[in-house]
Amino acid sequence: MIPPHVLRINGKTNIVGLFGDPVIHSLSPKMHNTAFFELGLNYCYLPFQISKEALPAAIQAIKALGMAGVNITAPHKESAVNILDELSTDATILNAVNIVKNNGGKLSGYNTDVDGFIYLLENGFTVPYEKAVLLGAGGAARAVVLALVRSGIKKITIANRTVKRAVVFVKQLRDKGFFSGGQVEVINLDSNEVSLAAKKSLLINTLSADPVEMGIITSGALQHIHAAVDLRYIPPTTTFLQAAKSCGRPAVNGLDMLLGQGIRTFEIITGVSAPRAVMKKTLTESSEMDNRAKVFLTGFMGSGKSTTGWVLAKMLGISFYDCDELIVSAQGTEITEIFKSKGEEYFRRREAEVIKMIALQTQDKCVVSTGGGAVLQEANRTVMLESGLVIYLEVSAKEAFRRLQQYANRPLLDVTDPETRISELLQERIPYYQKAHFCINTDGKTPRRVAEEIFDLLQFRM
């Protein structure tokens, strides 16, 4: 039987898109298509993976194809600004767009991040607050600052590791007429300074890391705040939010900001009031389902899968499995010995069993570090792609050799010229690694930095 919403698609259907790279895991298509169906609107929302090089042509295609409009997500929010015909006030101030509307061939850019956070404030708290402290000064923080100003917050403190970056942003806003008098100040992301500034304030975390776990603020200091917001929504209750709730303080995650952005997008594109209850229900169910997903890390030896996986699992508050460690535990001997005594083929069979077990039988949310050669078997690739998110940790041959020099227990590198062997193996495996949903380059980055990039990828997928 053909679903009712599919029957509605015809030559008059208005197409709405999502331009980004990647877009495979966005929650927006389901939320918007459900809303269109609820109101009986002849619209269809489709995701398009657009590279940086293809963005100008994709933007122009909005006109050529007669699309109603598109959402713009990472990494194109800033790049799209200079391609459009006109910008909204917020898009101009933030120098970023997340919506393009086709007004009869004129492309108008909007930024609804501010609207999203205002929606969160209005729906998350019953009383207004006079002071706010932001942890971080990235793109999301900038929109939050504007939202706070428009919400009547009288004093804003921005805490950032790089004070200069926050100061530059504040100056840009001051030059545009914001922050009269002593309305805003910038401090170091230091535990003592943050704890002092956060007293009787709305404390907002815009960082990818957890401020309590990072020691930026203590659970004891949270007793003195008014309320807490964590823009992260995976997991739904972070260590930071749980600590605030334990102190009896109101605490909310960032899901309502995502919802607020979606509502504004719907209304800008269609000109019709959004079915908010339906959109919230769909978004909440989708995010909860997504929160159950498994994350498989693939990549060459030396790409940092094990350490990155452990850090990422801790950030997400979920379990971590290392396939190699599980095999060692089950066999009672090291992998080097397994290769020597039973051969690589035997090891690959055991590896496939472990991956299948985690993918199909393990019910809990988890991050999984796979062996460097796991992707060589089609069965492994298929079961990982179908049961979770596969993220390829890319590493160059030169960087892999540098990292692996400290290890002497890599059986495939027990050769006369390991550097050449690394290059050969990597070239053989790259086509298989690239079948992953996402790719993160790890050269020159610490495992924590890579984990933060993956975390951001999983969190903000509007």
- pLDDT tens for each residue of 221-240: 999 999 999 998 877 788 89
Decide the pairing of beta strands 69-72 and 155-160.
unpaired
CA distances from 279 to 37, 38, 179, 458 (A): 11, 9, 35, 20
Tokens encoding 250: 């109101």
With 0.75 as the threshold, say if the pTM is over it.
no
d(CA 346, CA 27): 41
Q: Give, in words, the CATH class of 4-110+264-285.
A: alpha beta
Domain ranges of the chain: 4-110+264-285, 126-249, 292-459
CB 71 within 8 A of CB 97: no
Give me the helices (H) in 377-446, please: 378-387, 397-404, 418-433
Look up the CATH superfamily of 292-459.
P-loop containing nucleotide triphosphate hydrolases (3.40.50.300)
Catalytic residues, by residue number, are 77
CB 358 within 8 A of CB 406: no
What count of Cα atoms within 13 Å lies in the side-chain half-sphere of residue 232? 27
Give me the helices (H) in 271-360, please: 276-290, 305-316, 323-331, 335-360
Tokens encoding 316: 């997400």
d(CA 151, CA 145): 10
126-249 and 292-459, same CATH topology: yes
pLDDT in tens, the chain (462 residues): 344 555 577 888 999 999 988 787 778 898 999 999 999 999 999 999 898 999 999 999 999 999 999 999 888 999 999 999 999 999 998 889 999 999 999 999 999 999 999 999 999 887 778 899 999 888 788 899 989 988 888 889 999 888 888 888 888 877 877 766 558 888 888 888 888 888 999 999 998 778 998 889 988 899 999 999 999 887 778 889 999 999 999 999 999 999 999 999 999 999 999 999 999 998 887 766 555 468 999 999 889 999 999 999 888 878 899 999 999 888 888 888 888 888 888 988 999 999 998 888 766 778 999 999 999 999 999 989 888 889 999 999 999 888 887 655 565 566 677 788 889 989 999 999 999 888 899 999 999 999 988 887 776 544
437-457 burial code (b ≥16 CB/10 A, e <16): bbebebeebebbebbbbbbbb
d(CA 461, CA 257): 12
d(CA 345, CA 348): 5
Three-class DSSP category at 139: helix
**pLDDT tens for residues 240-298?**
999 999 999 999 999 999 999 999 999 999 999 999 999 999 888 776 655 546 899 99
Which among 254, 280, 252 is positioned nearest to 266, based on CA atoms? 280
d(CA 409, CA 415): 12
Decide the pairing of beta strands 99-103 and 106-110.
antiparallel
AA identity, residue 56: P
Q: What is the mean pLDDT of the chain?
A: 87
d(CA 94, CA 96): 5
CB 315 within 8 A of CB 455: yes
Look up the CATH superfamily of 126-249.
NAD(P)-binding Rossmann-like Domain (3.40.50.720)
Q: Which residue matches tokens 């030169």?
A: 398
What count of Cα atoms within 13 Å lies in the side-chain half-sphere of residue 80? 33
